[in-house]
Amino acid sequence: MSEPVADWWKQTASALAGVACAMLAFWLSGANKYVTSTETIELIQKHSPYIEDKRFINESLLRMSSQMDKCVEQTSKLNDEIKTLRVELQNANK
């Protein structure tokens, strides 16, 4: 009875050694050249075409913000002029 158990352990050990050898062979044959997640992030941050799009979008937003500020300023001036004209019109009607 002890002989089959010993054979079973030999077979299991042999199978595990084979798996370990296969994993080592796979790693030596090219798996060590795979891109890591850090390298992937770096590539995306530096070489992605979306970086140029992001820059363009941010520049456009800044231009629009500047134009909006000018529009708000002009609207405020026009509102002040309307108030002045209303007061003058009310004084003229008295």
Spatial distance between the Cα atoms of 66 and 77, rounded to a whole number of angstroms: 17
pTM over 0.75: no
Spatial distance between the Cα atoms of 2 and 10, rounded to a whole number of angstroms: 12
Identity at 3, one-letter amino acid code:
E
Mean pLDDT, residues 76-87 taken together: 95
In tens, the pLDDT along 47-80 reads 887 877 888 999 999 999 999 999 999 999 999 9
- C-alpha pair distances (Å), 25 with each of 11, 21, 53: 21, 6, 43
Instruction: Examine the pLDDT at 22 and tell me if it is beyond 80.
Output: yes
Identity at 78, one-letter amino acid code:
L
C-beta separation of 33 from 39 below 8 A: no
In tens, the pLDDT along 2-17 reads 566 668 888 888 899 9
Instruction: Examine the pLDDT at 33 and tell me if it is beyond 80.
Output: no
